[in-house]
């Protein structure tokens, strides 16, 4: 997850956005673990490591190892976790076996998203490696939030599938998340653009417990149906084999 999104006091442990986004990731990981082979989680662009650490907490001994991969980790952070079950590293491991590689809102930050996907594929070995990817969806939602976070692009199903196919990833499903919230987000961002509010600023902020609970409830229902949503959403997700 992007550490910039924490600068406004957002707590991913309770915030509706992060708690709901966990749900399809946990569901997919649970599906992969049905064969009783422990998984190695490789969280690329991990930042705080929120998503991968949550997977380890949920599945415990079924997760063999967690690599948190981020170029911004300090030498002190790396030394403190060296050879631990949850280890912070600067680069993708040389060998990924029985792995689930997750890229949670990462590809849009890269000028060359295909290069990253190829590097991951080159590191995988064996036949039991999978991916779970989320990216922001639809250029019509482009705003100062994208500028603030340093995004190069937003995606649709066909554009995400295109780069995954170029990297020879085997796509099981690509779909949209937060379809129920898309009309509201679209309207707000269009209105802001009409008013000339295009400055680089984050839209991520804390909410009152009541509003947070309502939004989490809406998003949770959305996640139960998301796998079939090929029409629109705020986020595009894809999962499959590497």
* Count of structural domains, the chain: 1
pLDDT (average), residues 174-195: 89
Q: Residue 190: which pLDDT band, with cuts at 50, 70 and 90?
A: confident
pLDDT at 2 over 90: no
Q: Which of 100, 102, 104 is nearest to 129 (CA)?
A: 100
Q: What is the model's pTM?
A: 0.93
pLDDT in tens, 52-98: 999 999 999 999 999 999 999 999 999 999 999 999 999 999 999 99
Q: What is the Cα–Cα distance from 236 to 134, expressed in whole angstroms?
A: 6
- Give bridge partners of residue 88 from the DSSP assignment: 68
Which residues constitute the domain of residue 99?
3-241
Cβ atoms of 134 and 21 within 8 Å: the answer is yes
| 225 closest CA partner among 51, 18, 27 | 27
CATH of the domain at 98: 3.40.50.150
Q: Distance (Å, rounded) from C-alpha 165 to C-alpha 108?
A: 17
């Amino acid at each position: 997850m992007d550490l910039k999104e924490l600068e406004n006091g957002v707590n991913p442990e309770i915030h509706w956005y992060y708690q709901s986004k966990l749900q399809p990731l946990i569901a997919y990981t649970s599906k992969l673990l049905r064969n009783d082979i422990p998984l190695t989680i490789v969280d690329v662009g991990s930042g705080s490591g929120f998503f991968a650490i949550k997977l380890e907490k949920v599945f415990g001994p079924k997760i063999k190892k967690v690599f948190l991969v981020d170029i911004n980790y300090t030498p002190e952070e790396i030394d403190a976790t060296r050879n631990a079950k949850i280890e912070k590293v600067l680069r993708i491991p040389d060998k990924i076996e029985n792995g689930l590689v997750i890229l949670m809102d990462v590809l849009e930050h890269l000028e060359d998203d295909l290069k990253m996907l190829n590097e991951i594929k080159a590191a995988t070995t064996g036949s039991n490696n999978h991916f779970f990817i989320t990216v922001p969806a639809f250029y019509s939602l482009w705003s100062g939030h994208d500028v603030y976070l340093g995004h190069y692009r937003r995606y649709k199903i066909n554009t995400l599938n295109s780069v995954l196919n170029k990297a020879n990833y085997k796509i099981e499903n690509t779909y949209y998340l937060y379809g129920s919230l898309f009309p509201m987000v679209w309207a707000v961002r269009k209105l802001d653009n009409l008013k000339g509010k295009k400055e680089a600023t984050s839209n991520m902020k804390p909410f009152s417990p009541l509003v947070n609970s309502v939004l989490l409830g809406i998003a949770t229902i959305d996640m139960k149906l998301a796998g079939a949503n090929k029409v629109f959403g705020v986020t595009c997700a894809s999962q499959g084999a590497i």
